[in-house]
Structure 1
Amino acid sequence: MARFIVVVLDGFGIGEMPDVAESRPQDCGANTATKLLDHFPLKRLPTLEKLGLINTTGLTRSVMQPSPHANWGTAKLAHDGCDTFMGHQEIMGTQPKPPMIKPFQASIDSIEQALNQQGYPTERISRDSLQLLVVKGAVVIGDNLEADLGQVYNLTANFNHISFEEVKKIGQVVRGANAVSRNIAFGGFIPSMERIFHAIEIKKDQQGKPAYIGVNAPDSGAYDEGFQVVHLGYGVDAQVQVPHQLHQIGIHTYLYGKVADIVQNDSGTSYTSVVDTDEIFTLLLKDLDNHQGFFCANIQETDLSGHQQDPKRYWQVLEKADRGLAAVVDTLVASDVLIVMADHGNDPFIGHTKHTREQVPLMVYSPGITGVQVGYRNTLADIGASAAAFFGANPPESGCSLLAPLKLEKEPHSF
Structure 2
Amino acid sequence: MNDKSVQYSKPLAYYLQVKKLKIFSVLKHQSFSGELFWSSPTGHHWTLFINQGQVLYGTGGVHPIRQWYRQVRAHAPELDLGQLALPQGATSPSVWLHCWDYHLLLDWFRQGYLSKKALGTIIANIIADILFDVVQSRATQYQLTRYPALDPNQAPIYPDNTERLFAITDLWQSWLEVGLEAYSPNLAPVIVHPEKIQTHVSPQVYTSLIHLLDGQRSLRDLAVKLGQDVLTLTQVLQPYIRAGWISLVEIADYAPVIGAGLNASTVKNAGNKLCDRSVTIACVDDSPMVCQTLGQVIRAADYNFVAITEGVKAIPILLAQKPDLIFLDLVMPDASGYEICSNLRKISYFKNVPIIILSGNDGLVDQVRARLLGATDFLSKPIEPIVILSVIQKYLKHLIVA
TM-score when normalising by structure 1: 0.28
Q: Relative contact order: is structure 1 or structure 2 higher (C-alpha 8 Å, sep ≥ 6)? A: 1
Larger radius of gyration: 2
Q: Write 1 or 2 for the structure with the bigger share of helix.
A: 2
| Structure with more of its chain in strand, by fraction | 1
